[in-house]
Amino acid sequence: MSDRIRSDDSDPGLARLTVDLGALRENYRRVADVGSRTAAVVKADAYGLGAVRVVEALCREGCRDFFVATESEGIAVRAGTRDSNIFVFSGPPNDRSAAAMVRHALTPVLNDEKQLQRWREHRETPVAVHVDTGMHRLGFDHAAVSRAMFDGFNVAVVLSHLACADDPAHPMNNLQADRFEAIRPLFPNALGSLANSAGALTGIESDMARAGIALYGGNPFSTRPNPMLPVATLEALVVALRTVPKGQPIGYGGTYTTPQATRIAVLGAGYADGIPRGLSPDARVAFRSHRLPVVGRVSMDLLHVDASGVEAGIALGDWVEVFGHTVGIDETAAWAGTISYELLTRLGSRVQRFYTGQ
């Protein structure tokens, strides 16, 4: 994806994200083919890829269950799909929110007794219940829940969240699965939802799996190769080219010094666009399948690349891949000491989004 900008483009921007909706749908199929009813987690604007377009694509694939983090996210998703189930992880923080969720046909995930009481006047409206089986974040304590607590409530889904599913051999997975199975009889008419992306792909049983990072091309495992197709490609425009003599500092703080005369390409993206400032010296970007080192500190709007290896082929107006098909998103995340989830959700608003593979 290194086509040069055309002179008639009125506002090409300096950074762009291309979202392959065909790959997204294939990733959904790979999770759904395991056998469970599969929901899509589309919180944080579908991990930065654009919730409306992602939901539209997944609806065409047959997905009818979506999870968001907040009421406002749920309302935004509801505008794009009338007949889907939209679950709100945070539950209703107040009475106004509870009424709004009813009005917009959103299903709250109740996390504690205050939320349970807040929903009491709407108890005939479907609700989900979150039970904490060991993550100690949100949810009712698995050892303290009883059937009587939910008498009269229309509990459609009971769920929990796996803490260590990215490592299938971790003993926490079996412990949480056992705890979850122990509370399932308390909710005889509810779907059980325990498996996330990694859990579904490793066979953790759920009536409803919740696919998240796997949909967007990130590796759901920390100990296995990535089984998913890349979906998001982040590119930045070459805005300057210069040959810097040997022994010269590059960028803020002069943290990198040229070992010899070096062809430097300056790219029009930086940490304001979501490229982590703390990229390690091992970080690479790609130009026409060539991996190029990132040199010096990432600044707010720009970053430097050693383009000596492609000096004859790179020019102003070319697009350089920050992550995508040649440089995997998980590679870039590792060079920044983070995970693909964070890279995607930190993408800035000035990064233009484009969609392919309808």
Among residues 64, 66, 54, 48, which one has the least CA distance to residue 27? 54
Round to whole Å and give the CA distance between 101 and 238: 46
State both tokens at 122.
């709407």
- The Cα-based distances of 201 to 133, 168, 197, 354 in angstroms read 20, 10, 6, 29
Residues 6+ apart with CB under 8 A from 213: 47, 197, 219, 220, 340, 341
Helix orientation angle between 21-32 and 51-60, rounded to the nearest 10 degrees: 60
DSSP 118-170: HTGGGTTS-EEEEEESSS-SSSEETTT--GGGGTT--EEEEE---SSTTSTT-
Amino acid at position 233, single letter: T
Q: What is the DSSP letter of 112?
A: S
How far is Cα of residue 77 from the mean position of the Cα atoms in its chain? 16
What radius of gyration do the chain's Cα atoms show?
A: 23
CB-count burial class (<10 Å; 0-12, 13-18, 19+) for 242: exposed
CB-count burial class (<10 Å; 0-12, 13-18, 19+) for 232: buried
Residues 6+ apart with CB under 8 A from 92: 71, 98, 101, 108, 115, 118, 119
H helical segments located in 8-158: 21-32, 43-47, 51-60, 71-78, 95-103, 113-118
Give the active site residue among 28, 43, 216, 355. Answer: 43
Round to whole Å and give the CA distance between 306 and 251: 12
State both tokens at 48.
């930065």
Any catalytic annotation for residue 246?
no
Give the active site residue among 28, 114, 216, 252. Answer: 252
Q: Any idea which residues carry the catalytic annotation?
A: 43, 252
